[in-house]
Amino acid sequence: MQGLHRLAKAYGATVDYSGELTLPTPGMVSGGGGMDFLQKYAELQRKIHENSSRCGFRCTQCGSVFCLTCLSKDGKTHPVTGGKACFKCGGSVKAID
C-alpha cells in the first residue's frame, strides 16, 4: 500500500485506507487540464497496475490488492475462512501467484 500512496502523491492524487484512488480535477493540476491531464493519469493508472501486480494479496470478491504488511498489521480475520479479510468489502483474500 505504501507504493500506491507514493505513486498517487507523485501525480497529485490520493489513496484512502481501502485503496480507492481519488484523482484531482483537471483545474487543480498545475498547467490546467486537457491532453496533458489525460496522459498524466493514464500513466498513473499504468504504474498503479504494475505496482499492484507486485503486491501480495488480492480479494477474491472485489479484486482489491493488499500487501502482506498492511494485512498482517491492520487486517481483520475473515469469519468463514479464518484468514485475513479485505479492507474494502470484507471478502477473503488470496495470495497473488
Q: Which sequence spans correspond to the domains of the chain?
A: 1-54, 56-97
- Looking at the chain, the whole-number percentage of residues with pLDDT higher than 90 is 7
| Residue 29 pLDDT exceeds 60 | no
Residues facing 66 on adjacent strands: 57
Neighbour count for residue 33 (Cβ, 10 Å): 14
Tell me what pLDDT residue 2 has.
Answer: 62
Give me the chain's average pLDDT, please: 76
Specify whether the CB–CB gap between 88 and 74 falls below 8 A.
no
Tell me what pLDDT residue 82 has.
Answer: 86
Tell me what pLDDT residue 91 has.
Answer: 92
Higher-scoring residue by pLDDT: 26, 20: 20
The verdict on pTM exceeding 0.85 is no
What is the per-residue DSSP string for 23-39? PPPGGGSTT-SHHHHHH
pLDDT digits (tens, 9 = 90+) for 44-90: 877 776 766 666 788 899 988 887 777 878 889 998 888 889 988 99
Give which of 66, 50, 91 is closest to 2, Cα–Cα: 66
